Amino acid sequence: MKIGNYIAGQWINGNGKGKELVDASTGELVAIADAGGIDFGEMLDYGRKVGNKALRKMTFRERGLMLKKLALHLHGMKEKYYPISYKTGATRGDSWIDIEGGIGNLFANASLRRKLGDQTYYVEGEPVGLSKGGTFMGHHIMVPKTGVAIHINAFNFPIWGMLEKCAVNWLAGMPAVVKPATLTSYLTEAMVRDIIESGILPEGALQLICGSARGILDYIETGDMVTFTGSASTGQLLKSHKRLVEQSVHFNMEADSLNCAVLGADAVPGTEEFKLFIKEVRKEMTVKCGQKCTAIRRIIVPNHLVEDVQLALSAQLQKTVIGDPRTEGVRMGALAGKEQVEEVKERIAALSNEATIVYGNPDQLDIPGVNLEKGAFMSPVLMVANDPWKMDGVHEIEAFGPVSTIMGYDDLDEAIALANKGKGSLVSSITTYDNDIARDYVVNAATHHGRILVLNRDCAKESTGHGSPMPLLVHGGPGRAGGGEEMGGMRGVKHYLQRCAVQGSPSAMTAVTQQYQQGGAFKDTSIHPFRKHFEELQVGDTVITHKRTITESDIVNFANVSWDHFYAHTDVTSLEGTTFEQRVAHGYFILSAAAGLFVDAAKGPVLLNYGIDECRFVKPMYAGATIGVKLTVKEKLGQEKKDEDDIKKGIVKFLVDVYDETGETVALATILTMVKYKNQD
């Protein structure tokens, strides 16, 4: 009955007594989790030497494709995880969030490969000139950290909690050690077995501990990362570990918080927004039995609407069918275990000193056909705060279950003040159809909340809701919520990368970054770059074109063709008081004329012009001026084939430097071309 631990490339069982894990609905034994005897020092060392070494050799594109392949693999077998998830007390809908939401994180983060390039490291931001003559410059690069990412996860999302973090560290090039909460670790273990068996990840990229990992932080080293999801008190205890300070190990904390939902003053009963608000709060109280770090704990509404909200919400909660999640029609299952039930009851008792229960009874529940002695069931509990201004408990005590408290406000400033009394949360939401109310709330509450949802009738059909963090947006929050950031798209990936400022000459920086830096040495080529296939092109390859003199007729004709009759191009009598000395050539004409100079017209490896990334017109051009172009390969980005019949190709960025007869740059642009590979295998 013991579930395994995946350590140093093999499945092992602990040598201790372990902990019995039971079905949350029936109390039946599911498995025994035991991590006794595991050498955490050897485990972490294996991750650094084997997993880290393998991942950091891969490019971002290769890692991204690895995530995509893994996501497709797991999506194809997703149904096998649902019966296991039901044992945690989760309904089909709850399980969907965990299972398919987790897999969705892999898909979403895999898409970032297009932004990160095809190198093993990432070149961040823009170059910085550091000298007057242009011979000394700087740029930032980011490389994978040399250690292991240790993820200590909560019990409520055994799959999503693992995949949302691992997707990011794998893409960045770091291996992971996953420590799921013991209570529901059997579900995590089931998926990890399939991940390992797939062979998609390199060896050492993933290790698993099912059971106690007490003492693992004693072995962390510089270059490692630690992330924690769970209670604020446990997180603070871990965050104070002396080894984190001694080794300067980054610690990311995502803690349970007193998230709030605010009802705008305009959203009175009868409006679409009032209905949406009641629906959203009910959902957040009952999904996963309220066992979500993003669940609504405080319901902040106008004082004159407190009773309306109480009655409407109670009516909706009354319709919620509670029971074994395997039973058809059940909409709210069980808490994860009896221990959680007792803990939630203790928190309700503490909250009762400041709030009154207006719906539900934590000690009474009638579910036909269910053994309430063995199952971890509880009724939703709705409370109303007596005085949310004088009482701090409603802003500090979290019952991690189907429990929420209504509190009133007089004006928006009070609503913001109440929201911020939670001392930092993962998420807040405001339901209003008044965009001025929405703006004022967001701007003034953003200091205390990691994410804010503005909910109204326009976005309701497609909104993912208050409790749903998105993979490419920040998930985390200030203050009580931990101060960390999970996910967040590029921000999330950068947590696992080490930033380094590199300084040198433009030519040296071109070699380091594999992006041509202006002022760097050209690689003059006798073959026009448009005649070269993708793999034949090198960063720095340059063609210097013939020249062309701009005429008065060019300016007039371009105005007629483009219909751009801006006065500076067409009316010389209007130039007084401007920066222009005479009729000025259109910037887009200069760029078009430059294209006429640098384009190689014959059919070749270039398939199409893909667009323009940057364009600057830095000097006015008048009739009689002569222009030439230096066209340089700036950067290469390989692409994967969409299917077997697709052409193998990549995107090549060219720096277009347009200069005049004095040699001074007059326009700069980065154009993108799609270029075919010579080798189509």
List, by residue number, the catalytic residues: 254, 293
Closest by alpha carbon to 607, among 671, 670, 650?
Answer: 650
Find the helix or strand (DSSP H, E) in which 112 lies: none
Ramachandran angles phi, psi of 247, nearest 5°: -100, 5
Widest pairwise Cα distance in the chain: 93
With beta carbons less than 8 A apart as the criterion, state whether 267 and 432 touch: yes
Q: Which DSSP category does 47 fall into?
A: I
Closest by alpha carbon to 305, among 348, 260, 262?
Answer: 262
Under DSSP, is residue 10 helix (H, G, I), strand (E, B) or coil? Answer: strand
With beta carbons less than 8 A apart as the criterion, state whether 259 and 465 touch: no
Distance CA 497, CA 170 (A): 11
Extract the tokens encoding 52: 């880290």
Q: Which DSSP category does 38 fall into?
A: -
Residue the block writes with tokens 């005085």: 387
Under DSSP, is residue 299 helix (H, G, I), strand (E, B) or coil? Answer: strand
Distance CA 614, CA 561 (A): 24
Extract the tokens encoding 326: 């395997």
Work out the number of other CB atoms within 10 angstroms of the CB of residue 342.
12
Amino acid 508 reads A
Distance CA 422, CA 416 (A): 11
What is the 3 state secondary structure string of 552-593?
A: HHHHHHHHHHHCCCCHHHHCHHHCCCCCCCCCECCHHHHHHH
Residue the block writes with tokens 């740029």: 139
Closest by alpha carbon to 27, among 331, 378, 373?
Answer: 373
Distance CA 245, CA 172 (A): 23
Extract the tokens encoding 122: 């990432």
Report how far apart the first and last C-alpha atoms of the chain are (Å, whole number): 48
Find the helix or strand (DSSP H, E) in which 232 lies: helix 232-239
Distance CA 270, CA 108 (A): 38
Distance CA 531, CA 527 (A): 7
Angle at 602 between CA 598 and CA 606, to 5 degrees: 75
Amino acid 377 reads F
Closest by alpha carbon to 227, among 289, 286, 174?
Answer: 174
Residue the block writes with tokens 């409370």: 383
DSSP string covering 179-217, please?
E--GGGHHHHHHHHHHHHHHT-SPTTSEEE--S--TTGG
Distance CA 565, CA 571 (A): 9
Q: E-assigned strands of 324-482?
A: 355-359, 381-385, 403-409, 425-431, 449-455, 474-476
219, 430, 633 from 539: Cα distances, Å = 43, 50, 5
Extract the tokens encoding 567: 């006065």
